[in-house]
A and B are shown apart, each in its own frame.
Chain A
């Protein structure tokens, strides 16, 4: 390939903390990796696991779910519910051959632009190291094994 691989990460950011953290990172002109594209949801608890799968299917190399810190959720504990789903979903993804680095959860309050920016940088680097997600829906890890062995 001529172009070096640039991962594309879809970020599901909650309206109250992490989306505002991303706003603040911009306002403070913190320069960070432009690889994360944000989708605003009211709460990280709104992130349906299907959204994550959809994003991977549509070609995302990584998905970030970002919410308020545990205990500081605008909706009491939506972020805890997001965390529960995240843990389960990530273990499923791993069984499907999707590396755990590709789905991450981040807590950033509205005043923590730096935390969000650093998380995006870190995740971008981790996924850059993994390379593109070549997920072909419908194929199991077992089917991919011969290819993987070649690599």
Chain B
């Protein structure tokens, strides 16, 4: 009945496969299997010579199905589909058997590996004869892009796309773009002023005709697919009319309510109840903090409204919900700083002069709460000695096992800034290892060594104010084992800075769910491939950039932002892309109209037609999961490329040796 000619190609992958799987045996055995017309093994099937083997065999032997036993289909399915296409064979007549990732790399038992490889090849052969010719589905790419997150990665992505002439919606949760970078003072290792290099970019974003900036806004819902995502955005009420506001700042000056600024100033400074996070904020409009504004709490005051020269304050303003359609989405949602309170022995929140890195950044910033002076909590006294503790929350199995990548460098920057601003002060940097692997970073480390920073190699056990010696009185004592001299040390200092690590945003799981992404163990978004596809995700049309993908510094975030933009620009320029035709469809003559499938579809792609009493699947909406296919009691739904026939045949093939054993046993049992 089935009259297909299958070609089986077993790849050695050098010794990656051939070192564990007996590839000759697998190829020879395959040749004896039903449907198989040609079988070969070859060193590297993915090489052009390997691909030519397939092309030539299709032409010479008239092969109608191709099975390549090599690596994961996620690696080379495209490659071999291309080879089929070149020989005039529909690319969906290819099937791969994953005998590298799933076999040779996963076991060292050669006999078991060879047996398993045969099973996978047999499954692929059996399946392939049921394959049907399929044509990719063209999808038009909407030219607008949504960028979520207005930190440096998101800014970089938005500007690249806008400069290339494509419309961008940039959505930022906070009242201003800028992200964490806006809070920093200097940037390592060049000591560029962070604001000086960032604010021009922020202004560019604010003024760019191709960028629709939506700050104080959040994405609430996403639906659709690559080429056409429908995004619902909630624009929170700022309580002022952006058309009228000139950003003069009079309202801020007049507002009588002072609030400790936990966000931008990291709790070190204060802001008003109507405020802009910082003077260079983009956009320039302030926002009223409903939790602290007297009017919202007590129903009176309205001083800002009375004083506003353009009458832009509007207490009745409500949140606005709007919908935009975009072709692609770039997530650049950044990171959270590790909460140093979680390590009680370091005393943050209990010992007054223990500061977090972010507090120190604000302190050394000329526009910050202390005007750039390095002082203790009293706001007056300059410290005579400062300890900087590296790896707070990072490289620690109790918190995060990973290295946060930036802390060594910014800790050294802190040491430099202390030397610069308080020339007499001594600085002790407590480190586990110095990780200075970026361009110019090691050089910066050597500069610090020359500047006289004391580097103490050892994880700090405790920061305490319990003095044991007279010189420790009134000081913070940092206790650590100095692993270079092999001794416990107690170093009394006036100020301790905790170099907290980066962690995934507290709501990263929730975001991942909203956008259909995966998170890793630590909550960072998972990229499509850690080396070769670092900004794409498993969901077509959704890209990631910056620290939401893993801890990284500014240059890396900028690079990823630009990389994600380049990927999106490529898609926009193509205008139409071809999507996998893995979609479900209903054979109307078999549909009984039972409607079981109707409510199973998460994309509402199935519609029931009352007049004909059958359901129908919209190809445009179907994402190809196959849940409905599995549920149809009449087997009336076809899941293209994953049909019941194909999967049943695959199951039979994958268990070929089990059947044979049974047969042997039966045969053996008969004479007895």
Contact = CB atoms under 8 A, between A and B. Distances in A.
B648 A51 contact: yes
Nearest to B127: A39
Interface residues of A, number: 53
Interface string A17-52: 101101111110111111001111111011111110
Interface in B625-660: 625-627, 629-631, 639, 642, 644, 647-648, 650-652, 654-655, 657-659
A45 to B, nearest CB: 3
Contacts of A29: 105-106
B242 interface: no
A48 B115 CA distance: 27
A45 B626 contact: yes
B516 interface: yes
B364 interface: no
B509 A58 contact: no
A4 B508 CA distance: 47
B552 interface: no
A112 B10 CA distance: 28
A58 B651 CA distance: 8
A122 interface: no
Interface in B92-124: 98, 100-109, 112-113, 115-116, 119-120, 123
A144 interface: no
Interface in B430-485: none
B109 A46 contact: no
A23 B101 contact: yes
A46 B629 contact: yes
B658 A34 contact: no
Contacts of B164: none
A74 interface: yes
Contacts of A71: 509, 513
Interface in B509-536: 509, 512-513, 516, 518-521, 526
B398 interface: no
Given A59-B661, A72-B513, A109-B520, A48 B655 contact: no
Contacts of B108: 31
Q: Is the interface of B mostly helix, strand, loop or mixed?
A: helix
Contacts of A106: none
A46 B101 contact: no
Interface residues of B, number: 59
B647 A60 contact: no
Nearest to A43: B625
B106 A38 contact: no
Given A55-B651, A72-B512, A75-B625, A109 B519 contact: yes
B652 A111 contact: no
B79 interface: no
Contact of B116 (A34, A50, A81): A34
B269 to A, nearest CB: 38
Most chain B CB atoms below 10 A, which of A30, A42, A85: A42
Contact of A41 (B104, B116, B538, B642): B642
Nearest to A38: B102
Given A16-B518, A34-B107, A37-B120, A60 B658 contact: yes
30 contacts: A8-B658, A10-B651, A10-B655, A20-B538, A22-B101, A25-B101, A26-B72, A27-B101, A27-B105, A34-B115, A37-B116, A37-B120, A37-B655, A42-B639, A45-B600, A45-B625, A45-B626, A46-B639, A48-B629, A49-B630, A58-B658, A68-B518, A72-B512, A72-B518, A74-B538, A75-B602, A81-B631, A109-B519, A110-B526, A111-B518
Nearest 6 pairs of A and B residues by beta carbon: A59-B658, A26-B101, A46-B626, A45-B627, A75-B625, A76-B602
Interface of A: 6, 8, 10, 16-17, 19-20, 22-27, 29-34, 37-43, 45-51, 54-55, 58-60, 68, 71-72, 74-78, 81, 85, 109-112, 117
